Structures are given as C-alpha cells and as structure tokens.
Chain A
C-alpha cells in the first residue's frame, strides 16, 4: 500500500522536476554586453515594450535591454527594493509614489541627461512640484501623460445638436437638455472607488489651487476652504447619473457608455481602449471639464502617466542614457500614444489620438494642471472618502474629515515640510 503510493508520488515529482529543468531559467548568459533592466508599471502597454525591447536589442551590440511589464509592479518594485535588487530604470507614474522614492533617495539625479531639453517644461515642473520639499536635481524623465475630463458620444451630440459646454452653468443646462430628451447625461462606475476621483480631479483643477495639498502641508490653508465648491458641484452632477451609481463598476460604466446608454462619461483618456473594445464603432471624443463659472478659469486635468527614473544604484549611466534615447525617439513615442491614447511629454510634432480632439487646444497651449490626487497618500483612501461623501451627501462632515485625516496620514511629510520651512523660511 505505502510503497505504491510513495512510488506514484516519486514519479509525479520526477516528472515535474524534469519539466522544470526543461522549461526553466534560460536568462542572462554573460556575453560581455551591458545588461540594462527596465521594470515599468503599465502592463497594458506590455506589447509595445516587447517590441521596443526587440528592436533595441537588434540594433545595439553593446547593450542588452530587458523590459518587464509585470502586473502589480508596485508590489514587485517594493519587494525588489527591500532586497536591494534594483532594476536600472523604473517606469512609474508621476504620483505620490514618485515623491516617496525621491524622498527615500532611491532615484538618481539625471539632470545631465541631454534628452531632458526636449521634454515639455510643464511636465518637468510637475515632477518638481511632486517633491515633498525642494531637492536639487532631476529625478525623472516624463514619457507620456494622460488627461481626464468628459468623454462624450459624438454621434449622439451631433444628432441632437448639443454644444460643448464652456462653463459650469452651460454644463448643467446641457445635462437638463439631455435629460429632457429621455437620455441619461452621465454614467458613473462608483462601485470601483477609484473612479470617484476622475470627476473630482478634473473639477478640482478648475476650482482649487494646483498646489492645494502643499499649501495645506505648509499650514497656509485647509481643504475645507479649498474643496467646498468642488464638493458641492460634484453633488450637483450626481443628479444626472444613473439611479444607483454605486452599484456599477468601472467596467459596467465603460460598457454602458459604449453601448450608448449615456451621452457622457466623466473619466480619463485611459478608458478609451476599454470602451472601444466593447463597441469599436463608437465615435468617441472628449472635452475639458467646465467646472469653473467662467470659461477662462478652466484648465485641462493632465498628469504624467509614465516616466522613467534611473535608480541610484545603477552603474552604467551612459548605457542607460542610450536606452532612454531610444525610448524617446519620436517614432517610438508616436507608437506608444497610438496604442494607449496618450499625450506625449516630449516637444515635437506628434499626431494626437482623435479622442483627444476636444482637448487639443488646451494641450498645445499648455493649459494643463496636474491631478490633485497625485498628492494624496493612497492609504488615506480619498477615493473611498469621496464615495462615502457621495452616498451621504454631507459636505461639512466630508471636508472636516478630509482635513483631520490629512494631518494624520501625512504626519511625517508635514514634519519634513515644516523643518524645511524653518531652515529656509527666512531666506524667502
């Protein structure tokens, strides 16, 4: 009895081990080439990066490039950091993680990289602003940006002769108009809490200072003062969405909007591929969220979606710059923006995706402001707080909690800022 069982087991184990030996580990035969490794956090762009990797290796004899686009890259990156196993280049977003990494001195100063001259100053400024306290040096090279506002069904708009609204009042009037024709103005997917941030961000850039979070950290203002109008307008907007927006997720909302169940969907340009996968024939366009009462007060909500940072432990800066040069070649960037409906951070004559048509004016004139949530620590769960607020509709309670929670979750950052202010404050 026993022998038979053990034998089975042995056979199974041997087979498995053999299959592993055959399939496993073929990596890194050292052939004198410099190995450069990139880990980038956008798995949806994996195909693009595989192509780039192949093309680069085919044309370069001295460097071997490896790009991985894992899912849950942040976990992988953090795990590797703790092991002190740093990739040479990391591709991350321009959000609070970047701020943390700069603060943790994980990233290298790349101000000597020649390619920086070709990058749009606006995006370099965004990265500068994301540092908790001013630090000398440039720690990231912006690659592409995304934008959030309102996506709309162009055919539907043309059919009913609806105009693109320029101010908040026009938007509300438009919604009334749409509703009166028996069509749902907005779709929301608030079951996925992060989607609550999309309208929030695009309204906040119109109504609150771009550096609200930093002002609060310096103790100059409060969110209660700055975010009241945003909160109130958000509630107003809710009336034009589905009856129970908290029942639907991002995916439901994309599907519903793609199938013409609503005229507009307040979300970012990143949603376009998902929407078009459901309905490839949809005539999709976008416009800037007109949250301000005057058209001039509106600005496009746009932030860095992907940027490349060199890690401090990287030894081959020259080779890394060569890789970056290749990545930032115009035709590669064009390929990326075509595949991912993105906005290039590099200066130059790029063909923007058609779904951004309604935003082009703001993009070319540089009238763009970074996402407010790029300053929010993720553990504070502002997205969930907004969802709670939209469910409970209590502006005062929401804003008060925002302020108290902010102090609690940003305690260490605020201390950092205040120490810096103390040292440098007199110099101003």
Chain B
C-alpha cells in the first residue's frame, strides 16, 4: 500500500485546495443572507458578515421561484433522466463496447453517437423546438427524451470505456451455464458496472439539474418551470438581486449535493475489485 508519508502530503494538498472552495462558498453564504443595501464594492464590505442573520431572503426566494413546484419538476426530470440513462445508456455502451473492436458496423455506430456530443446545441435548438412541438412533446417528457439523446454520447463513452476493464471471461463463464446474453448482462455485467452507474448518475444529474436552455426552449409557454428556469427571475439586464439569487442557488444546491453524497459511496465501494480477481 501507499506509505504514510505520501498520505500526509496528500492531506496537505487537499487542505490547500480546499481553500479555493471554502472562500467562494463563504461569499455565497454571506451574500445570501445580506440585504441589497449591504452590498458594496469594498473588500471588507464583501467579506463582512450580514448585519442580521435572517431567513427572509430564503423565504422570499422560495416564493419568487414557486420553490416546491419548480423543485418537483426539476426532480421529476432529473430522476427520470438519470434512471433511464442508467438503464438504456449502459445497454448501449455494452452493445457497442463489446463489439466495436471487431465489427465495422458497431464501430461506426459508436463513433456516430459519440460524435453527437460535439453538435453545438444552438444549431439543434430551432429545429428541435419545431420538431418537439409537431410531435406533441413540448413538455417535460419531451425534455427528458431530449436529455436521453444529449447525454447518450457521453454516457456511452463512459460505459464502453469502463467495459474495457471488465474481462470477457466473466461472461463466458455465465454462458457455459447456459444463460442468454440478455440475462448475463443483467445478472453479471450490469451490477459490476455499479461504480460507473454512479458516475453516470452524478454527471447526468448535474448536467440536467443546472440546464436552462433545453427546458427554456422546449417548454416555452407551457407554464411549467424548472428550478434553473425559475431562477432566471432574479436577473434582468437592468438589475439583478444577487442576495435573493444566491439564497435560491444555495437552496437548489442541497438536493444535488445529497444525491452526489449517496452516489459517491457507490463510486468508491466498487465491486470490481472483488469480482475481477
């Protein structure tokens, strides 16, 4: 195992790095509690603690964003996207990852899908707005479908990359026992990819949670808001209420942080170590 000395230096590096995170977080928190009249351009002004610690900003922010409603929409879209991504993208990653080395067709499909990652969203936006409306998908379900497509390249890339480290021997052993490929996948491969499921879940959830453009364009005029959409209310060209906005961003940060903490345990307690041996 790595020796104790390097652990200590690792700790020092980590603590130093931490300051680059603690400082912005501190600013975010104090600003979220201040009043607009407490905002200044001087350094001691910005660093100072708020005059009163009151939850009023949070309350008002929740009111403006219609918090529970927007949160519900955001949760629905995020969880559905994450769940479907884990199920479908892992399958696709499996099919492509296992075949792309020896089949021209799969190797082409793999490159075709992965290159989809680089299509600038702006070029798709107008055509998609039209297409989803024509298909009756100008709603949250359409948004989920689009996310399934947008994050497919990245997730397929991740899954098939992960598969490289999972030996074929495992599947062959199952086949000897007479299990079908489909069954083998769900029984053996899917559980083994658990760390990657968690990684995919985190990356996808994060991207979906913060995304503004897709729901803005697709759900335009539907009266439904996600949290990031609702948070746009705090800023306009001629005036931004940073205090309320920061309070609102702190609130919306909590669910995703909890989600991450749950997932990261999965990333770390990977079963691969035990299984591969």
**Footprint of B on A, CB under 8 Å?**
1-2, 5, 9, 12-13, 16-17, 19-20, 22-25, 27, 39, 42-44, 46, 68, 70-72, 75-76, 78-80, 82-83, 85, 87, 194, 251-252, 255-256, 259, 261, 270-271, 273-274, 277-280
Chain B interface residue count, Cβ-Cβ cutoff 8 angstroms: 45
Whether a CB of chain A sits under 8 angstroms from the CB of B39 is yes
Enumerate chain B residues within 8 angstroms of A256, measured Cβ to Cβ: 41
State whether B36 touches A72 (Cβ < 8 A): no
Shortest Cβ distance from residue B1 to the other chain A in the assembled complex, whole angstroms: 28
Whether a CB of chain A sits under 8 angstroms from the CB of B237 is yes
Enumerate chain A residues within 8 angstroms of B48, measured Cβ to Cβ: none
Whether a CB of chain A sits under 8 angstroms from the CB of B19 is no
| With A1-B191, A83-B133, A85-B221: A71-B235 Cβ-Cβ less than 8 Å | yes
Enumerate chain A residues within 8 angstroms of B130, measured Cβ to Cβ: 82-83
A sample of 11 cross-chain residue pairs with beta-carbon separation below 8 angstroms, ordered by A number, consists of A1-B191, A2-B186, A2-B191, A13-B79, A20-B140, A25-B224, A44-B236, A71-B235, A274-B238, A274-B240, A278-B37
Whether a CB of chain A sits under 8 angstroms from the CB of B126 is yes
Enumerate chain A residues within 8 angstroms of B232, measured Cβ to Cβ: 43, 70-72
Considering only CB atoms, which chain B residue lies closest to A77 in the complex? Answer: B220
State whether B239 touches A44 (Cβ < 8 A): yes
State whether A16 touches B80 (Cβ < 8 A): yes
State whether B186 touches A12 (Cβ < 8 A): no
The 4 A-B residue pairs with the shortest CB-CB distance in the complex, in nearest-first order: A71-B232, A274-B239, A83-B133, A16-B76
- One of B221, B235, B240, B242 near A80 (C-beta < 8 A): B221
Enumerate chain B residues within 8 angstroms of A83, measured Cβ to Cβ: 129-130, 133, 138
| With A82-B130, A259-B41: A277-B239 Cβ-Cβ less than 8 Å | yes
State whether A278 touches B133 (Cβ < 8 A): no
Enumerate chain A residues within 8 angstroms of B186, measured Cβ to Cβ: 2
State whether A252 touches B76 (Cβ < 8 A): no
Enumerate chain A residues within 8 angstroms of B41, measured Cβ to Cβ: 252, 255-256, 259, 261
Shortest Cβ distance from residue B122 to the other chain A in the assembled complex, whole angstroms: 11
Chain B interface SS verdict (over half): helix
State whether A278 touches B224 (Cβ < 8 A): no
Whether a CB of chain A sits under 8 angstroms from the CB of B161 is no
Whether a CB of chain A sits under 8 angstroms from the CB of B96 is no
- One of B37, B40, B129, B236 near A71 (C-beta < 8 A): B236
Q: Give complex CA distance A13, B238 in Å.
A: 40
State whether A251 touches B240 (Cβ < 8 A): yes
Enumerate chain B residues within 8 angstroms of A270, measured Cβ to Cβ: 238
Whether a CB of chain A sits under 8 angstroms from the CB of B75 is yes
State whether B83 touches A9 (Cβ < 8 A): yes
Q: Give complex CA distance A52, B197 in Å.
A: 50
**Footprint of A on B, CB under 8 Å?**
36-37, 39-41, 68-69, 72-73, 75-76, 79-80, 83, 86, 125-126, 129-130, 133, 138, 140, 186-187, 190-191, 194, 197, 216-217, 220-221, 223-224, 232-233, 235-242, 271
Q: Give complex CA distance A288, B221 in Å.
A: 40
Q: Give complex CA distance A17, B232 in Å.
A: 25
State whether B217 touches A75 (Cβ < 8 A): yes
Q: Give complex CA distance A194, B237 in Å.
A: 9
Considering only CB atoms, which chain A residue lies closest to B75 in the complex? Answer: A16
State whether B239 touches A23 (Cβ < 8 A): no
Enumerate chain A residues within 8 angstroms of B140, measured Cβ to Cβ: 20, 24
Enumerate chain B residues within 8 angstroms of A27, measured Cβ to Cβ: 223
- One of A17, A24, A76, A259 near B216 (C-beta < 8 A): A76
State whether A277 touches B133 (Cβ < 8 A): no
Enumerate chain A residues within 8 angstroms of B79, measured Cβ to Cβ: 12-13, 16
State whether A277 touches B236 (Cβ < 8 A): no
Shortest Cβ distance from residue A189 to the other chain B in the assembled complex, whole angstroms: 11
Considering only CB atoms, which chain B residue lies closest to A69 in the complex? Answer: B233
Enumerate chain B residues within 8 angstroms of A42, measured Cβ to Cβ: 236
With A16-B80, A278-B36 known, 15 other A-B pairs at CB within 8 A are A1-B191, A13-B83, A19-B72, A72-B232, A76-B220, A78-B126, A79-B129, A80-B220, A85-B221, A252-B41, A261-B41, A271-B239, A274-B238, A274-B239, A277-B37
Considering only CB atoms, which chain A residue lies closest to B243 in the complex? Answer: A277
Q: Give complex CA distance A68, B225 in Å.
A: 12
Q: Give complex CA distance A79, B217 in Å.
A: 6
Enumerate chain A residues within 8 angstroms of B187, measured Cβ to Cβ: 2
Shortest Cβ distance from residue B132 to the other chain A in the assembled complex, whole angstroms: 8
Q: Give complex CA distance A279, B233 in Å.
A: 22
